């Protein structure tokens, strides 16, 4: 039977002859075998390369620090350059816009040509400010107002001017862009609502301005219910749309936040009279006279002298719900 070599660790089995086996331990190698496995001495070039690798490993921390410092310096330069050429420059440019607009307004009566020069310069500076900082809503809104004013003047002279209509549509886009930047800015909302009224007046082909104006006014009332002007404008919108009951609901909520605002009280009394709700109207008219004894509309509705105060019995009248 022929012997089969078996390998075990750490020993090595070697077949010798027919089936005889000798175990030779790994550690019992001859001196000659060890000498054969010894590495030869390194050459001069190899020693130089080894020393170079050691020096590079020593320099690695220093190189990393240098790269990090350079990166921070580059980041600072980029940020400072962006600020110098972006928001900072845009802010100074916008100040020049305000100055040139004031000059244009002052020269309007005496020198129309000089006023137009200042106005054109202000528009150029405003576009530069927007280009430098397109995320500032004030610049975009100011540009929209400028376009709206120019378009309104042109359409006042020629309602069919296509150039003026194109300018008005551009003003609307800029106003909507400003609202996207600051959707809860009530100044932008009020300005956008006024622009949409101009669109409805001149751009007869537009069918979306009226519904958008309602949404804008309702948002302004929700954002700041303490500002009576917004509720007054929304109620006026409903009155123009023949939706008096909706206007009454707006005003009833508004007088809760502004109970002494004479414009709201007068508008609400007028709406009640229009709807035939005489009792509620008289309560509002008397309330208005207590706030403003010289109010002519309240005195006329009650048939009294506007300089006299109301009788004490007015306090016994039923109150109007605040909505």
In a domain, 130, yes or no: no
C-alpha of 49 from chain center: 61
Q: What percent of the chain has pLDDT over 70?
A: 65
With 90 as the cut, is the pLDDT of residue 219 above it? yes
In a domain, 135, yes or no: no
Band (237; pLDDT cuts 50, 70, 90): very high
In a domain, 72, yes or no: no
pLDDT value at residue 9: 46
b (16+ CB within 10 A) / e for 137-160: bbbbbbbbbbbbebbbebbeeeee
Reported as half-sphere exposure (CB side, CA atoms, 13 A), residue 144 has a value of 26
With 70 as the cut, is the pLDDT of residue 7 above it? no
With a CB cutoff of 8 Å and minimum separation 6, the contacts of 256 are 322, 323
With 50 as the cut, is the pLDDT of residue 258 above it? yes
pLDDT value at residue 13: 47
Placement of tokens 């089936």 in the chain:
19
Average pLDDT, the chain: 78
Of residues 259 and 132, the one with the higher pLDDT is 259
Strands (DSSP E) found in 46-150: none
Band (18; pLDDT cuts 50, 70, 90): very low
Residue 179 in contact with residue 145, Cβ under 8 Å? no
Band (232; pLDDT cuts 50, 70, 90): very high
Number of domains in the chain: 2
Of residues 4 and 286, the one with the higher pLDDT is 286
Which of 103, 180, 99 lies closest to 144, judged by CA? 180
Domain with 298 in it: what CATH number?
A: 1.25.40.10
Running DSSP on this structure, what letter comes out for residue 10?
S
Which of 153, 131, 150, 152 lies closest to 140, judged by CA? 131
In a domain, 321, yes or no: yes
In a domain, 150, yes or no: no
In a domain, 279, yes or no: yes
Q: What pLDDT digit, counting tens, does each position of 139-168 carry?
A: 899 999 999 999 999 999 999 999 999 999
With 60 as the cut, is the pLDDT of residue 308 above it? no
Of residues 11 and 192, the one with the higher pLDDT is 192
Average pLDDT over residues 272-279: 95
The answer to whether the bond into 10 is cis (omega within 30° of 0) is yes
pTM flag (> 0.75): no
With 50 as the cut, is the pLDDT of residue 195 above it? yes
In a domain, 219, yes or no: no
Query: Residue 16 is part of which domain span?
Result: 1-32
Q: CA 203, 143, 220, 247 torsion: positive or negative?
A: negative
Band (242; pLDDT cuts 50, 70, 90): very high
Q: What radius of gyration, in Å, describes the C-alpha atoms of the chain?
A: 43
In a domain, 296, yes or no: yes
């Amino acid at each position: 039977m022929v012997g089969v070599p078996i390998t075990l660790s750490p020993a090595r089995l070697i077949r010798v002859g027919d089936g005889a086996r000798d175990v030779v331990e790994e550690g019992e190698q001859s001196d000659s075998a060890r000498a054969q496995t010894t590495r030869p001495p390194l050459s001069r070039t190899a020693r130089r390369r080894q020393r170079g690798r050691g020096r590079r490993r020593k320099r690695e921390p220093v190189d990393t620090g240098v790269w990090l410092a350079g990166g921070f310096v580059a980041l600072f330069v980029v940020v400072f350059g962006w600020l110098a050429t972006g928001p900072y420059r845009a802010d100074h440019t916008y100040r020049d816009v305000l100055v040139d607009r004031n000059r244009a307004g002052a020269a309007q009566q005496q020198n129309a040509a000089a006023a137009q020069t200042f106005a054109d310069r202000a528009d150029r500076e405003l576009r530069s400010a927007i280009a430098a900082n397109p995320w500032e809503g004030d610049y975009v809104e100011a540009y929209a107002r400028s376009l709206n004013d120019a378009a309104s003047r042109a359409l006042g002279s020629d309602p069919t001017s296509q150039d003026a209509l194109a300018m008005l549509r551009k003003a609307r886009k800029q106003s909507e862009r400003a609202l996207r930047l600051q959707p809860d800015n009530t100044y932008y909302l009020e300005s956008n609502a006024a622009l949409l009224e101009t669109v409805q007046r001149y751009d007869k082909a537009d069918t979306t301005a009226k519904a958008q104006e309602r949404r804008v006014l309702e948002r302004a009332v929700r954002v700041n219910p303490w500002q009576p002007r917004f509720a007054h404008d929304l109620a006026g919108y409903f009155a123009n749309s023949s939706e008096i009951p909706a206007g009454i609901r707006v005003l009833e909520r508004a007088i809760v936040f502004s109970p002494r605002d004479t414009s709201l009280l007068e508008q609400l009394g007028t709406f009640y009279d229009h709807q035939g709700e005489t009792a509620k109207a008289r309560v509002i008219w008397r309330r208005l006279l207590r706030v403003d004894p010289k109010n002519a509309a309240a005195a006329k509705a009650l048939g009294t002298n506007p300089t006299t105060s109301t009788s004490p019995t007015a306090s016994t009248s039923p109150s109007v719900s605040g909505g």
